[in-house]
Amino acid sequence: MAEIYGVCLFKPASGELYAFANGKDGSFLQYRLSASDGKAKGELVRRFKVDTQPEGCVADDQRQRLFLGEEDVGVWEVDARADQPATLSSVIKVGEAVHADVEGLALYQSDKHDYLVISSQGNDSYVVVDAEPPYALRGAFRVGLNANAGIDGTSETDGIEVTSMNLGGPWSKGMLVVQDGRKRMPEQAQNFKFVPWAEVMKTLKLP
């Protein structure tokens, strides 16, 4: 694979560890990872393809499925198990709440609700859908500036990550981390913004 665009890990109940890597031509390669004699190894166990350029991916270990983004098309779901056929099912398409490019994907998983968060780079927003079929749309939001703290909003986001872990204080419901591709206050290289998940819940009225 000449140019890798996205990488994510998958750990099924069996305890094995897998890595998915995708390339600009739409190819996905799935490797079984192992370590022996102090060396890490990867065995290619499956390959599949989407029609156009992909980007982010994230695996749901509990449900053994992989979510993957196709930049100009939308988000797909596929069985993450190496011995299963790679049949794509649509989660959400570009032109609904998502604006191309589809970039980073992240899973918010808690005892009560699981959500898939999508970086909608075309309009600098973040889309939230249920992480289970029928993948109901919960809404979209932007990360705005905090003028008092001198922190600008986010734009041109590629990667994102989220956790439901109680990190204390404003982060008691978890944290969303988003890459800011254009830092404006002051003008500098990219950085990362930390968003309390409680603010996302409030904005989208999530249960």
Q: What does the pLDDT look like over 98-143, one tens digit per residue?
A: 999 999 999 999 999 999 999 999 999 999 999 999 999 999 999 9
Share of the chain above pLDDT 70, in %: 99
Inter-CA distances, 206 with 55, 161, 165, 185, 194, Å = 27, 18, 17, 31, 19
70 within 8 A of 53, measured Cβ to Cβ: yes
Domains of the chain, by residue range, sit at 94-204
User: What is residue 185's predicted lDDT score, i.e. its pLDDT?
Assistant: 66
